[in-house]
Structure 1
Amino acid sequence: MRKLRTILLRTACVTAALVIACASGRAKADDLPSVAFVPQLTGIPYFNAMQAGGEKAAKAFGVHFIYTGPVDANPVDQLQIVQNLVNQGVQAIAVSILDASSLAPVVAQAKAKGLKLFTSDSDAPKSGRAVYVAQATDDGLADTLIDELVKRTGPKATIGIVSGDATSSNLNTWIRLMQARVKEKYPGIRLLAPQFAGGSADRADQLASDLMTAHPDLKGLIAVASSTCPGVGQAIETAGKIGAVIGTGYCSPNTVRSYIKSGAFGFSVLWDPAALGYLTVWTGKQLIDNKPFAASNTVPGMDHPISYDAKTGILLLGSPSVFTKDNVDQFNF
């Protein structure tokens, strides 16, 4: 019965999200082309910032923006939401993928209906998606984080990883590339097997605490998902390990500001998700208008050219940023 109630609750939440999205768009959908973005989960600062950027772009480019996603990082719920958007005939749909292996059939259905389905923030490169709006190169993100962390832990250290959902393609790619960076450049670093907290900060807190208990020599903890960043920071503070264990991750400044200032986090690596949301909606409009991407694209409202790799089908927002105690207050997302 408990399992059945859980399934019914998830179905109700997905349905409610779609009803809200449809209701908000009914007045404008007949007049303007529609671009949707489906995050990995709603209600966290990172995707809230992407939503704000998308709304800004929608006004700038004359489109109706639909923002709807699962209430937790559940790939089944996310896929159902994408499927419903395709069934509704939304012209361009962007998805931050949780499970890359599940998207291809929906991409095929979208193509058959003349719709544009693409990815943003997290990719499904083998799905046939129209394009991927990438925040930064995966290699650049992974290399930057590992290099900055080793500067602080030293070249001989044990480092733990607390990630989000085990099926999330972007998170798993970053983990794989961090492992490759360590193997290639830092043979004295021991990178522990990743632990997966789903979308729960509380679970991330528990996993980070368990790692510090199981490995008294631990010198670093990496929060791979934005939803796990507060949990890792809280665990380091609660354990009294500030200065002994360096926290870091792919975290927005607002999510970890207090932990950077307390010293629980030495730094975080990310990009501007509002700019990513803005670029996502611009991309959707370009796809709807059947306008090809150039190797270098001028996007109205953005202060630098956006590169496009025709071979991989990737639009690149830019280089990763490193947020520290010295600069974190300069950012608000």
Structure 2
Amino acid sequence: MANWKKLLSGTVLAVGLLSSQMSTAAHAADKVRIALLVKSLGNGFFDAAHKGADEAAKELGNVEVIYTGPTSTTASGQIDIINSLIAQKVNAIAVSANDGDALVPSLKKAMQRGITVISWDSAVAKPGREMHLAPSSDALIGNMCDKLAADALPGGKGDVAILSATATSTNQNTWIAEMKKALPKYPGVNVVTTVYGDDLADKSYRETEGILKTYPNVKVIVAPTSVGIVAAAQAVEDAGKVGQVFVTGLGLPSELAGHVDKGSVKSFAIWNPIDLGYAATTIAYELATKKAEAKPGAEIPIGRMGKTKLDENDQAAMADPFVYDKSNVHEFAKIF
């Protein structure tokens, strides 16, 4: 009888342990795994977006954020990562695209496997995603870049050069197109060239040197990229052109405060990348868990930021760009 009781006790214990392990495994399986796929690692803008994604995951409670990206801004690097994420059976992919068309086949494959796919910051073509979250209205961003250039030009008149990211970068190309549309509002702004630094600091620096040499009358360089604007400011300072050439565009306060102090940058703009990462992660979660559906007119909750509404192209905009200068840059540099 004693042996029988021991056997029964051992069986109960084993079943209990197995049940506990199964419960733990089930809890782990319940985690919603969201991949935040960025253009490249080591970029301050995307590092800040990662912070926002982690904030969203903490609020949601059952979310695991996988922060990933290639080492350089290439579509092929992102495609390799997408294929890996498909194999890992993640629940959602939120991607800022290096090439909005090139990623479509691999992202369509992901969606066919039941993975939620959204783009944010830099759009994927519509067949390759459920929706796109723009950081702001493209028209507002383009107009803002023109206004910043006009404000930096002496008397609002002079030659301007544009330093972009890659030639295939969806968001930069769209913003530059919107800049050109808005130029009639700023008749003194004369755009003489557009060059591409591929969102690499060293190449952006060299391209700026080329602008200064080839276009000696350029008074303002507009860089709608957080990597390019820092590299351009440094190149202007190293060339001894502070006060003669000003750099503006889109950048991070923490990376530009010193350049504002030195005078190579008067003002620049950006939305909050922390909020952007937060919103992208929250939207991916809402769609992956079927709490929301991406369709024209749909309003999708984005946590502490309220809601965002999709247009007829399944796109939503987060917020207007905000201008930073010597009056506020150091305050915001402490945040991002």
Could you say which TM-score interval applies, normalised by the shorter chain? Answer: 0.7 to 0.9
2:8 aligns with: none
Alignment of 1:1-333 (within 5 A): 30-61=29-60, 62-153=62-153, 154-182=155-183, 184-292=184-292, 298-302=301-305, 305-331=306-332, 332-333=335-336
Distance 1:241-1:202 versus aligned 2 partners, 3 A rule: same
Deviation of the 1:124 alpha carbon: 1.8
Give distance in 2, aligned partners of 1:102 and 1:29.
34
Q: Is the 8 A contact 1:34 1:63 kept in 2?
A: yes
| AA matched with 2:46 | F
- Post-superposition shift, 1:29? 5.3
Deviation of the 1:291 alpha carbon: 2.3
Q: How far apart in 1 are the matches of 2:323 and 2:78?
A: 30
Please say which of residues 132-141 and 209-218 is displaced more in the overlay: 209-218
**Per-residue deviation at 1:306?**
3.3
**1:12 maps to which residue?**
none
Larger-Rg structure: 2
Segments of 5+ residues of structure 2 without an aligned counterpart are 1-24
Structure 2 counterpart of 1:57, one-letter code: A
In 2: Cα distance, 1:29 partner to 1:327 partner:
44
Aligned partners of 1:163 and 1:194 also within 8 Å: yes
Q: TM-score, normalised by structure 1?
A: 0.86
| 2:323 counterpart letter in structure 1 | V
Per-residue deviation, 1:256: 1.2
Displacement of 1:298: 4.8
Q: 1:263 to 1:28 in 2, by over 3 A?
A: farther
8 Å CA contact retained: 2:222, 2:248: yes
SS at match of 1:82: helix
How far apart are the structure 1 equivalents of 2:95 and 2:51?
16
Query: What is the percent sequence identity of the aligned residues?
Result: 30
How far 1:48 moved relative to its partner?
0.6
State how far apart, in whole Å, the 2-side matches of 1:46 and 1:28 are: 33
Amino acid at match of 1:69: G
Shift in Å at residue 198 of structure 1? 1.3
TM-score in terms of structure 2 length: 0.85
Q: Which amino acid aligns with 2:45?
A: Y
- 1:28 CA drift (Å): 8.0
Q: In the TM superposition, what is the alpha-carbon distance from 1:310 to its structure 2 partner?
A: 3.4
Q: RMSD of the TM alignment (CA)?
A: 1.9
* Match in the other structure for 1:8: none
C-alpha distance in 2, partners of 1:138/1:306?
A: 19
Shift in Å at residue 262 of structure 1?
Answer: 1.1
User: Does the CA contact (< 8 Å) of 1:164 and 1:199 recur in 2?
Assistant: yes
Q: Which residue of the partner structure matches residue 11 of structure 1?
A: none
Give the Å deviation of 1:160.
Answer: 0.8
Letter of the 1:88 counterpart = Q
Q: How many residues align?
A: 305
Q: Which whole-Å CA distance do the structure 2 matches of 1:250 and 1:83 have between them?
A: 31
Q: Could you give the per-residue CA deviations for residues 209-253 of structure 1, whole angstroms, max 9, x where no partner exists?
A: 221122221110011221112210111111222122111121011
Which of 271-280 and 123-132 deviates more? 123-132
Unpaired stretches in structure 1, ≥5 consecutive residues: 1-25
> Conserved in 1, the CA contact under 8 Å of 2:148 and 2:248?
no
Matched letter for residue 282 of structure 2 = W
- Classify 1:326/1:28 alpha carbon distance in 2 versus 1 (closer, same or farther; 3 Å): farther
Residues of 2 paired with 1:267 and 1:44: CA distance? Answer: 21
Q: AA paired with 1:166?
A: A
8 Å CA contact 1:50, 1:273 repeated in 2: yes
Task: String of CA shifts for 1:90-130, please: whole Å, max 9, x gaps.
Answer: 11101100011112212321222111111011102333411
**Cα pair 1:35 1:91 within 8 Å, conserved:** yes
- In the alignment, the residues of structure 1 paired with residue 137 and residue 172 of structure 2 have an alpha-carbon distance, to the nearest angstrom, of 13
CA contact (8 A) 1:205 1:235 kept: yes
The verdict on how the C-alpha distance between 1:67 and 1:155 changes in structure 2, with shifts beyond 3 A counting, is same
